[in-house]
């Protein structure tokens, strides 16, 4: 009996000692689109559970499907000072009076890992969101196809050309892209590869794209007849592993079979001049911010910064797939310092005629 009483007293002492630590935690309110059918919904909830356990803080989450009702509820909660961390698309109608700028967040908490993208400017010129998820365009590579011929993922433009030549000599289609159909993404990536970042979207980048595509066509990168290939057929050739590479957008990742997730990677199309590009072709999708009301409370703001750091470290929030493919997507977006936008958005009136002229010239080679 005495031993039992002693054990109970010891337990009480331990509980009393732990109480201050538990009481020190704060509750933050989060608002994101990572819910319902979003691929990151479960991973996001798992992240919350892990963060709560690690920090002693709590999360009151209001995530939901992104629609008008969701956006209005989020805006209202922010304006009432009832939200702390929000993940939302650009141009949501919020201002620097309601959200902390990315510059402020980086200056106060550089350890959070937030980035400032010029591409995420609001209408008034402020940058309120640090990038979380991006609509990107890049080069997909079937690494197992390359490995059959002792080849590795091309890191330079010269290596890309060599890989294309070697694959063609072995009867393998190097790049599965239909140049007469849905060529916009190919042109975006070729424009970034063929000209300096500062020239992207100008005539110089359009000429650079033509130079890159001309050279790739001359070495047989797109096969013997890319003009009569439908994009659906080209896509299937890559997904099945019949072709080695394909220039495409983020949506293709969700079509790669799970059993091939460790045999595919995504990289930027290598730059022709050998100078590294810090921008990624494409546009931002979602960004994260701390509300102004939260920022004015020391305990809540510290918890919010910690939460954002955890969020940005999660591969599962930016990639809909796992394996090597998911890791390469996370690395692709993490390494980007900004987004270029897409050529069509920069010149919607003249883009179609320019694209057609480039394809027409390639057909004469």
Q: Which two tokens stand for residue 15?
A: 């509980």
- Average confidence (pLDDT) over 346-358: 79
pLDDT of the residue at 17: 42
- In 3-state terms, what secondary structure has residue 133? strand
Q: How far is Cα 114 from Cα 342, in angstroms, rounded to an integer? A: 23
- Number of Cβ within a 10 Å radius of residue 254: 10
pLDDT band at 24 (very low <50, low <70, confident <90, very high): low
pLDDT of the residue at 3: 40
- Average confidence (pLDDT) over 149-171: 97
- Number of Cβ within a 10 Å radius of residue 338: 18
Rg of the chain in Å (alpha carbons): 25
Range(s) of the chain covered by CATH 3.40.190.10? 27-128+283-324, 136-281+340-362
DSSP codes joined into one string, 78-103: HHTT--SEEEE-S--S--TTTB--HH
pLDDT of the residue at 37: 87
Ranked by mean pLDDT, the top range of 2-6, 222-226, 299-303 is: 299-303
User: Helices 41-55 & 298-312, crossing angle to 10 degrees?
Assistant: 130
pLDDT of the residue at 5: 38
Closest by CA to 226, choosing from 364, 352, 358, 363, is: 363
Closest by CA to 168, choosing from 213, 209, 224, is: 224
pLDDT of the residue at 67: 85
- Average confidence (pLDDT) over 22-34: 84
pLDDT of the residue at 13: 40
Closest by CA to 190, choosing from 250, 265, 277, 251, is: 277
Please enumerate in sequence order all residues whose Cβ is within 8 A of that of 44, keeping only pairs 6 or more positions apart, or say none: 32, 34, 63, 314, 316, 317
**In which residue are the tokens 């730059």 written?**
271
In this structure, what are the phi and psi dihedrals at residue 309, rounded to the nearest 5 degrees? -60, -40
Instruction: Say if CB 224 and CB 164 are below 8 A apart.
Output: no
pLDDT of the residue at 22: 40
- In 3-state terms, what secondary structure has residue 279? strand
pLDDT band at 352 (very low <50, low <70, confident <90, very high): confident
Q: How far is Cα 238 from Cα 265, in angstroms, rounded to an integer? A: 12
**CATH classification code of 27-128+283-324:** 3.40.190.10
- Average confidence (pLDDT) over 301-306: 95
pLDDT of the residue at 6: 40
Residue-averaged pLDDT of the chain:
89
Q: Which CATH architecture has domain 136-281+340-362?
A: 3-Layer(aba) Sandwich (3.40)
- Average confidence (pLDDT) over 80-107: 93
Closest by CA to 135, choosing from 290, 329, 309, 289, is: 329
Beta bridge mates, 65: none
Q: How far is Cα 321 from Cα 254, in angstroms, rounded to an integer? A: 7
CA 133, 136, 142, 146 dihedral sign is negative
Q: What is the pLDDT of residues 113-147, one digit of tens each?
A: 899 999 999 988 999 999 999 999 999 999 999 99
- Of 175 and 350, which is predicted with more confidence? 175
H/E stretch holding 327 reads helix 323-335
H/E stretch holding 335 reads helix 323-335
Q: How far is Cα 57 from Cα 134, in angstroms, rounded to an integer? A: 29
Beta strands in 250-323 (DSSP E): 264-267, 279-280, 282-290
Q: How far is Cα 115 from Cα 29, in angstroms, rounded to an integer? A: 22
Q: Which two tokens stand for residue 72?
A: 């209005």
% of residues, the chain, pLDDT over 90: 70
User: Helices 351-362 & 184-194, crossing angle to 10 degrees?
Assistant: 80
pLDDT band at 156 (very low <50, low <70, confident <90, very high): very high
């Amino acid at each position: 009996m005495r031993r039992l009483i002693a054990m109970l007293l010891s337990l009480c002492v331990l509980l009393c000692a732990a109480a201050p630590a538990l009481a020190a935690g704060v509750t933050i309110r989060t608002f994101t689109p990572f819910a319902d059918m979003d691929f990151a919904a479960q991973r996001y909830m798992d992240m919350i559970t892990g963060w709560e356990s690690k920090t002693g803080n709590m999360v009151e989450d209001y995530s939901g499907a992104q629609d008008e009702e969701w956006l209005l509820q989020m805006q209202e909660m922010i304006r009432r000072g009832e939200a702390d961390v929000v993940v939302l698309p650009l141009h949501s109608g919020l201002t620097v009076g309601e959200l902390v700028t990315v510059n402020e967040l980086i200056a106060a908490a550089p350890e959070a890992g937030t980035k400032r993208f010029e591409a995420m400017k609001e209408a008034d010129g402020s940058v309120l969101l640090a990038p979380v998820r991006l609509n990107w365009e890049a080069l997909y590579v079937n690494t197992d196809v390359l490995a059959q011929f002792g080849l590795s993922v091309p890191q330079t433009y010269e290596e890309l050309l060599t890989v294309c030549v070697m694959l063609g000599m072995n009867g393998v289609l190097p790049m599965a892209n239909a140049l007469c159909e849905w060529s916009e993404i190919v042109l975006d990536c070729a424009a970034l590869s063929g000209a300096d970042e500062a020239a992207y979207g100008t005539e110089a980048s359009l000429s650079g794209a033509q130079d890159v595509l001309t050279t790739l066509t001359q070495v047989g990168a797109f096969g013997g007849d890319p003009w009569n290939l439908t994009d659906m057929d080209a896509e299937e050739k890559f997904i099945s592993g019949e072709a080695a590479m394909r220039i495409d957008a983020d949506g293709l990742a969700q079509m790669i079979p799970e059993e091939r997730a460790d045999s595919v990677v995504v990289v930027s199309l290598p730059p022709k001049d050998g100078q590294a590009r810090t921008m990624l072709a494409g546009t931002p999708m979602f960004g994260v911010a701390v509300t102004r009301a939260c920022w004015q409370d020391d305990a809540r703001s510290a918890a919010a910064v910690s939460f954002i750091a955890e969020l940005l470290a999660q591969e599962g929030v930016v990639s809909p797939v796992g394996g090597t493919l998911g890791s390469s997507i996370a690395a692709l977006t993490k390494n980007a310092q900004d987004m270029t936008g897409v050529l069509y958005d920069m010149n919607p009136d003249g883009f179609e005629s320019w694209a057609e002229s480039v394809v027409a010239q390639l057909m004469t080679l």
